Structure 1
Amino acid sequence: MQALLVFLIVAALSLLASSRSLLDPARFPALAQLGASGLLFLIFGALLGPSVLGVLTPGNLDSLRPLVALGLGTAGVLLGLNLEPRLLRLLPRPVYAAALAHAGTAFLFVALPLSVPLVLSMGLRPLVAVGAAALLGAAASLSSGHFAVLGYRNGRLERSRGLGVALLTMMDDAVGLGVLALGLVLGATGNAAEGLGLLGLALSLGVACGALLAFLTHSLKDPAEQTTVTLGMVALVGGAAAYLRLSALLAGVACGATLALMGGRTAARVARALSRVERPTYLVLVFMVGCHLHARDLAAWALLPAFVGLRFVGKVLGGRFAQRLTRGVLDLPPQFGYALIAQGGLALCIVAEYVLLVPGSLSQRVLDVVAVGAVINEMLAHGAFRHVLGAEDPPREAGPPSGAPGDAPPGDPPGATGAGAGVVA
């Protein structure tokens, strides 16, 4: 019954969010931007959740945990499908170093300073506080390139530079997922060896489901059958992980990576089938994350300015390091760091997974800071990307003279790995 209520609410909000008069960039640019990115559903979820209007109670949210796990599993599969071995082998080493530089700089700028107030405010053991600060750093390290994608589609940004931004924002997902895995190993059970075993079990589950999906869809030719089998197996990944109390997100990544490793038509068919449900799944997941937000946590509101400010500085400096490392290798726009301010949906997935598997006041505070920070960073990214365009040379490739990027950015769900291509870029 609760799941039906959520679907009805999301359906009603979808009609509202698709209103051309409400989301007209000329009249309400901020609403249009949040509606296109999907973060408007995060705000709606927070308003309807237990901490504000209370339309959905804490009991409702507990019964809907499998629905969140299904969304995380789907996001993970989409992320894993982006790990194309042929492309990764062709990338030169400076590209990897640049991705690590801009993601790692933001991670350090956020994780190290915020570990101090977490220890002082909650009286935690240093290791526990550092783990929570690391999750904040992981969320800060992620970026979305959807402004760059829209920029080169509109002809406002040279295509090669837009794709360079999208590539580096896609690669920084590895930092966030790696920190999530480490946080779950240390915090899920309190025993590192047991946590490592659960992580290995989650990855093994994903690999097994990926191999089974490849086997079942290898000889299928009917698109309807392909879609049905694909959705069933993706649901199995998330459902099995939720039942076993494993990471649905990491299991999904392992499943998608297995399909990408096998390559060929199978991976392309699976990606095509999932693309039909990517956007609705993302919106439901974002709405559910918003419902879990505690809007009255004053300590989270106190940490929020530091999180946003430190991340902004870290991304700008990290962008400068990345430009130096890729000089002559990758064409990046001037003021590259300002193109990295948009945060992307994977950050919400990481903190949602952490709350599900490591419940408590500390993980809840991490979710509150990252969820509200994602909305603020999306708004800051609009002006920041205009700064990038102001320093950009006139593009050599002609494009249709449409509005400025950011007035109506494309969606940015988790599977697009922060790049903005597809709904999950």
Structure 2
Amino acid sequence: MTAPAVATSDRIVDPNGDLPVTLADVEAARTLVSGAVLHTPTLHAPRLSALTGADVYVKYENFQVTASFKERGALVKLARLTPEEARRGVVAMSAGNHAQAVAYHGTRLKISTLIVMPETTPQVKVAATEAFGAEVVLFGETVADAFEEATRISKAQGRIFVHPYDDADVIAGQGSLALEMMEDGPAFDAVVVPIGGGGLIAGMALAFAGRSPATQVVGVETQLYPAMWSAMTGEARPCGGPTLAEGIAVRDVGVITSQIVRRLVPHVVLVDETALERAVNAFLMHQKTLAEGAGAAGLAALLAEPERFRGKTVGLVVSGGNIDPRMIAGILLRELEREERIVSFRLTILDRPGMLGRIATLLGKLGANILEVHHRRTFLDVPAKGTRLDLTVESRDQAHAELIQKALEGEGLPVQRLGAGGADW
């Protein structure tokens, strides 16, 4: 990136200003979620602290019934419906956590719930939403298409539309999370919050500005979807592309949320996909907890810009834990490759009996575990009496991987590293 990855606001924090949502709204919302939404723990994370150089505390919103903070805002919105509005039912648009939150609490409160999801939504998410009691309508290719259909249904059927983020009740509900963090954790120098449409960070910023004004609320977005960053800086950047943080892959931030964020949030950090992958892996390996890409974005910011947070007491929110198991498997393998605990080599060897056994014996003596072997005889750049051998092995660390390569070269074998910084396959 040629431009700075941080949006900075020099606006003066004024929690008593003319904002559309206030600390009093957040505090009132807290009474509605109490007992109906889990008061999730805020716990010290010594291993993440060692990894990042900050004193890290984590709030585990992935412990909620639907594995996401979205329950808070959805519940407050639903609980404040009049009896007549509740009778008419609600409609929401979402391809993920908001859908399940509205479905779960709508069913619990005996409110008819209809969720519009894009036709491209993975079936596992559709099934999960239906399992919580909602009627699901699949419409269009994109979230924007689904939004238009949800709006049409709201008008045609008289259902109340439950916006995923740009709603005062939803914002106030999300802010209840911050009140719990302040009660359960230390005095934070900073809290780092994922930004999609801005509902979570808007609610949290209101709470911290009113209760702990010395705490800096820092936002984080993926580089592929810098919508709030653009709103704060006035520099329009394109939004789009496949991202691990699909929960915050939002092209258009809210009107209400952006007003609050501009006033109360001084920085928005942009993180790349590698930082997100490392963060998801770190939560699983160090904290033994499952974080989706968006839920790990706060930790990704610490990994991407450690000097910004070094030595500070920092609060993170695992905002959600809904992630495809296949994606987790891929992330774990990719991280092992980055750490050079899985390494691949390409060798050109003589095609004769005993060569593969000789190499396997050498690797065994070095303590390298062979994971995959591929013989390739048909390439024109391989001698007629030779063969290409691709090996993937498990090593202890980078030094061990280098030792393995030197030992193979010491046997007179031409060795080429593949992937993870080496040549392409």
TM-score (norm 2): 0.27
TM-score (norm 1): 0.27
Larger radius of gyration: 2
